[in-house]
Chains A and B, each alone.
Chain A
Amino acid sequence: MTRFLIFHSLFCLSISCNQYRYMQKIPSDESCIEKLKPDFHHVVYKTSVDVIGKHISGLLVVKHMPDNSTRVVFTNEMGLSYFDFGFPPDSGFKVYSIIPQMNKEGLVRTLRKDFELLQFRNMDNSKSYALKASGLIYHAYPQAEGANYYITDSNCRQLVKMQRASAKKPVMEAVIFGDSRNISPDSISIRHFNISHFSITLKQITSPAAQ
């Protein structure tokens, strides 16, 4: 009986840990994600970051540059720049500047992956696949570690959420509020599961004062 309970518990644990394994695999539709892709051409977000009991806030500027790269700059309200990241056109990543307090390898790697997910980068269609579960389609794009999932409704009318995942489970989830199709989303909420209480909220500043 004890052996059965242990076996049963491990079986249940393996199922609950691997959230994608038992989803139904379906043919992938590349055009679906392409039409829901947001456009971060030039946008300023009021930004709040909560991580392990600490709170920082400021402004996040996302700007498409003439060389087709995208720059992501985070400053505090009084103007001090926390970081300035560059994303070249196809792949790669460059840290232009970062304050020493944030210059931790793990944090930079996490932020890089988060912004790559939001920008729909590293999407190799030759490796992509789709999964179906609970009326949602999980459009999967394998990464060096795990995969990025863009989750839509079954008719591909709405981007419900995005996930960065390890081989078994999501490590981060981002939700876009409002329309995302070819425009800068109005607001975005990011929640990490592998780092306790690490969340980021972005709210677009629409005032003409932010130019």
Chain B
Amino acid sequence: MIKTVSLVCFILCFINSNGQYPGFTLLNNPETFKKSFALATATTESIQSDFKQEKSLSMLSENINSSGKFWYRKKDKIRMEYIQPYSYIMILNGGKIFIKEGQKENKISANSNKIFRQVNRILIDCIGGSMLENPDFQSRILESSGTFLVELTPVTKNLKDLYKNINILIDKKDYTATSIEMFELSGDKTIIRFQNKILNEPINDPVFNIP
């Protein structure tokens, strides 16, 4: 009897969990998720939030923590403002990138730098909800009780050289990203967690202005 119960428990565990992502199971019908997700992101005009970033250098047993403010406005405007432990502002607006590092300002055309363009598209796609349409990645969708996990695996050489995979955790309540996890080939990873989200509040143009 005990053996039978153990076997049943083992089989249930095997069915209901994913070894790589404990507590998550692979969605059998991702199309349902895609439809609900598309519907929810279509109504999200803007997001404002705080963020905390943790970079883990695996071989060095080292974590670098930073935090700041985040703004997104449909369709391709993002401002990330790092406040602690350093001042760094990145604005993505259309095809342009503006960086303010301390007192130093730098404008970059995303079109002139392939890596910058791809990495920035990841950010916009993850927040704006278009990551499943990005041809640079193949995707798998998993779920737990309160969260969807979209696993993006790079298929293009440039991104395969940088990332093993990128995961986006999506809140089932409002279909917004709660965190982005970027796994590098070296074993290093970066997690950006979004907190205190405010959806669909108007954000003034100057927030995204590139001088």
Residue positions of A touching B, CB distance < 8 A: 44, 46, 48, 55, 57, 59, 61, 63, 65, 71, 73, 75, 77-81, 84, 96-97, 99-101, 205-211
Contact = CB atoms under 8 A, between A and B. Distances in A.
Interface string B73-116: 00000001010111010100000000101101010000000010
Nearest to B188: A81
Given A77-B82, A205-B86, A44 B64 contact: yes
A184 to B, nearest CB: 15
Interface stretch (B16-24, B29-37, B53-61): B53-61
Contacts of A61: 57, 60, 62, 64
Contact of B88 (A57, A80, A100, A207): A57
A80 B86 contact: no
Nearest to B122: A78
Contacts of A77: 66, 82, 86, 88, 90
A205 B85 contact: yes
Contacts of A205: 85-86
A80 B101 contact: no
B185 A57 contact: no
15 contacts: A61-B57, A61-B60, A63-B60, A71-B60, A73-B57, A75-B57, A77-B90, A78-B90, A80-B182, A80-B184, A84-B57, A96-B186, A97-B186, A210-B85, A211-B65
Nearest to A61: B62
A81 B184 contact: yes
Contacts of B192: 78-79
A80 B161 contact: no
Contacts of A96: 59, 186
B119 interface: yes
Which secondary structure dominates where chain B touches chain A? strand
A65 B101 contact: no
A68 B171 CA distance: 44
A80 B119 contact: yes
A96 B57 CA distance: 12
Interface residues of B, number: 36
Given A48-B101, A77-B82, A77-B88, A101 B115 contact: yes
A210 B65 contact: yes
Given A55-B106, A79-B182, A81-B188, A99 B119 contact: no
Contacts of B186: 81, 84, 96-97
B26 interface: no
B163 to A, nearest CB: 8
B190 interface: yes
B53 A73 contact: no
A51 B101 CA distance: 16
Contacts of A65: 60
Contacts of B182: 79-80
Contacts of B55: 59, 75, 79
A97 B86 contact: no
